Amino acid sequence: MKQNPFSLEGKLILVVGAGTGIGRGVAIQLAKQGADVALSYHGSAQGAQEAVEEIESIGRRAISIKANIGEVRECQRLVDDAVTFLGSLDGLFNNAGLTLTKDFLNVSPEDFNKIYNINIRGQFFTCQRAIPYMNKRGEELKSISPDHFWAGGSIVNVSSVHGTAGFAGHSVYAGTKGAINAFSRELAIELLPNHIRVNVLAPGTIEVPSYYSDPGYTRELGNRIVPGGRVGLPADVGYVATYLMSDASEFMTGHVLTFDGGLTAKMAIELKPTEGTRDK
């Protein structure tokens, strides 16, 4: 293992869905810790390019790649293009996703297909394409330095607190997040012999630019929603992602890490508890 297992020096990582919000924050934080990064985007070309420029300014290599991961061929091309630029692949951070808020009875087949294609189908097939490259990376490192300990490849799939807790209007979205949790646990077991770990990061309220499309949203409101007293930021997710991509997390696989400032740990009931005992 590296002298500093938390360092990402020499790591080659693809961040899917990095033109804005969480993905962009993660990509920048990974680079700050030493990684070279390929960033994918679909509609946020300017944000992705600005992230590339910021990463290059700190001395790391970066590229932005446009891809629609709702299409399997695009998932495959994205991973191939990322490896062409990076030279190999140590890590995959699957962040791209869409949110749909709609009453269950109003959800159309088109709504369902769109959200499932992006949120779970896209993650499934980017993982599938990335794994052979990660296997090759391990073989290459071993051949170059037989005594070098390769901590393994790392896949982090982004889910949500909606995957384990209910909230009105999110039947389709929550379904995709629950699917990500289950699929990732299964994949972690399948990849144990490959020395590739798979974990899920399930954020709660993380303030991203799209929050401000709601005229009622303010930072103060976000801070009130979270029991911890402040809304999460993309950089916060980046800190956890850095650990999961580092050699320090070599013993962690198959886990869903809830990251929400206490949101799901807190009971929804707002009554103040009274002291004493009573029958159940």
| Catalytic residue positions, numbered | 159-160, 173, 177
Cβ atoms of residues 35 and 6 within 8 Å: no
Cβ atoms of residues 7 and 30 within 8 Å: no
Q: How far apart are CA 41 and CA 28, in angstroms?
A: 14
**Pair of tokens at residue 72:** 């399997």
Residue 217: other Cβ atoms inside 10 A? 15
Cβ atoms of residues 55 and 62 within 8 Å: yes
Helix (H) or strand (E) holding 123: helix 122-144
How far is the CA of 160 from the CAs of 85, 94, 201, 246, in angstroms? Answer: 30, 12, 7, 22
Ranges assigned E (strand) in the chain: 12-16, 36-41, 62-66, 91-94, 153-158, 196-203, 256-259
Q: What is the DSSP letter of 107?
A: -
